[in-house]
Chains A and B, each alone.
Chain A
Amino acid sequence: MKIKKNIAISDSGFIFNPSTGDSFSVNPIGLEIIKLLKDEKSSDEIKKHILKTYAIDESTIEKDYYDFLKMLEANKLSAEHDKVN
């Protein structure tokens, strides 16, 4: 998944979607994932990075990671929405 190009991401974890005016707060891990997505890292690369950096098992990261992507999609932060905006 890719993050929309015009999404503004601050270091505090504040995310702003200028197309819809919506804003969100994410925790430090969420912020890390969004930044990696914005850098066009693949899901495998991101999951590997999280596994290496944090004390977490593979099945938990698998579940939480895809939950998080679903949330990004539902809130129109994924690049698929670029087509219409």
Chain B
Amino acid sequence: MEPTTLIAQPPVKDKKGKRRKITVAVTGLNAIDSPGPGVAVIRALRESTEYEVRIIGLSYETLEPGIYMHEIVDKTYQIPFPSAGIDNIFERLEYISSVEKIDVLFPNFDAELYNFIKMADKLKKELGIHTFLPTMEQFEARHKSNLNEYGKKNGLSVPYSKMIFSTAEIPSLTKEFTYPMVVKGKFYEAAIAYNPDQVASHFNKISAKWGLPIIIQQFVHGAEVNVCAIGDGKGNTIGAVPMRKQYITDKGKAWAGIALDDERLLEETKKLFAATKWRGGLELEYIKTSDDEYYLLEINPRFPAWVYLTVGCGQNQPEAAVKLALGEAVQPMTNYDVGKMFIRYSWDMIVNLDEFEKISTLGEL
């Protein structure tokens, strides 16, 4: 891969060779059983060799564990849910940036990206906050509901899928699909259905939570392999680490995984970045069949919760995202340690009531 040079920038370290101090605001502090990537992203940034980061946590709910992890997050501010609209969120960020000078905003949820992409220019112009996000076009094109089209356009194998809007459409699904099939929510959740009753049950459950449409996807047997990667927005792959899930929770999340030596996955990733000029971090979810065929199941438009494995493997991808956000030169990272594993664990923190009180009443901690 050819090294990418963006624009000439002064070195990140100051004259004494010390790490430069920056403030990064991070969402996704919900380090729960279906974790947001925030805590993993922060751990990566804290291990940056170039930046000494002050971390501002942005939370949606009062019980997000990251709020209370003071060695991880320096200060947390509650922000309005994405459904509150751009104006409300911007107003809150305006207040936060009047207290904290935020250099980079690092969103980590699919559902909030739409708002942050929309307000990215305004954030930079009015508040001096940098982001490194996909364009609205890239974000919309990779939606689960558009994945078929996306695959065709970019030469990627994607299991056949279609959107449905009502349970009345279920009986006719067998014209296009065979059982089992996967029933997926617009943003989150997926379940395997072996008969029409199960499709209807998953349809109702998932649509009640995430709304319509529901996506029906042909089930493909095989091992789940994922790639955590970052593109520079010009078609170059800045970093990519393939991983196989070794232990999967009942929510389908990886509780343990191992970095793979998989040339084909890396090629697929490079092909996708070259074709789409993807800007920012992402996670590619594939199924590898026993015949070694690869099917792209999903493109998550942000780093996954297991992004810290990339740091363990020698590629600090979140640090690269911050550098790109600040317009600094980043060299592609082509090497990584194969066979490095992550194993997640849960941990009970003891929290004083006054901390819970502060975040609940003042929206800050």
Q: Which residue of B lies closest to A84 (CB)?
A: B292
Q: Which residue of A lies closest to B242 (CB)?
A: A21
| Total count of chain A residues near the partner, CB < 8 A | 10
Specify which chain B residues have a CB less than 8 angstroms from the CB of A84 in the assembled complex: 264, 292
Interface hit among A12-20, A32-40, A43-51, A60-68:
A12-20
CB pair B262 A8 closer than 8 Å: no
Q: How far is the CA of A83 from the CA of B339 in the complex (A)?
A: 21
User: B147: CB under 8 A from chain A?
Assistant: no
Convert B294-333 into 0s and 1s, putting 1 for each residue whose CB lies closer than 8 angstroms to a CB of A.
0000000000000000000000000000000000000000
Interface SS of A by simple majority: loop
Q: How far is the CA of A19 from the CA of B244 in the complex (A)?
A: 10
CB pair B263 A18 closer than 8 Å: no
CB-contacts of B323-365 with A (<8 A):
338-339
Specify which chain A residues have a CB less than 8 angstroms from the CB of B173 in the assembled complex: none
CB pair A18 B261 closer than 8 Å: yes
* Centre residue among A18, A19, A21, A81 by max chain B CB count within 10 A: A21
CB-contacts of A44-85 with B (<8 A):
81, 84-85
Specify which chain A residues have a CB less than 8 angstroms from the CB of B257 in the assembled complex: 21
CB pair B258 A21 closer than 8 Å: yes
CB pair A19 B261 closer than 8 Å: yes
Taking A8-B339, A16-B339 as contacts, is the C-beta distance between A21 and B260 under 8 angstroms? yes
| Total count of chain B residues near the partner, CB < 8 A | 14
- Nearest CB in chain A: distance from B67 CB, A: 34
CB pair A85 B264 closer than 8 Å: yes
Specify which chain A residues have a CB less than 8 angstroms from the CB of B261 in the assembled complex: 6, 18-19
Specify which chain A residues have a CB less than 8 angstroms from the CB of B258 in the assembled complex: 21
- Nearest CB in chain A: distance from B268 CB, A: 13
Convert A1-35 into 0s and 1s, putting 1 for each residue whose CB lies closer than 8 angstroms to a CB of B.
00000101000000010111100000000000000
Which single member of A8, A18, A81 contacts B260 (CB below 8 Å)? A18
Q: How far is the CA of A18 from the CA of B260 in the complex (A)?
A: 5
Q: Identify 4 new A-B residue pairs, CB closer than 8 A, beyond the known A19-B260, A20-B244, A84-B292.
A: A18-B260, A18-B339, A21-B258, A81-B292
Chain B positions within 8 Å of A, measured between CB atoms, are: 223, 243-244, 246, 257-258, 260-264, 292, 338-339
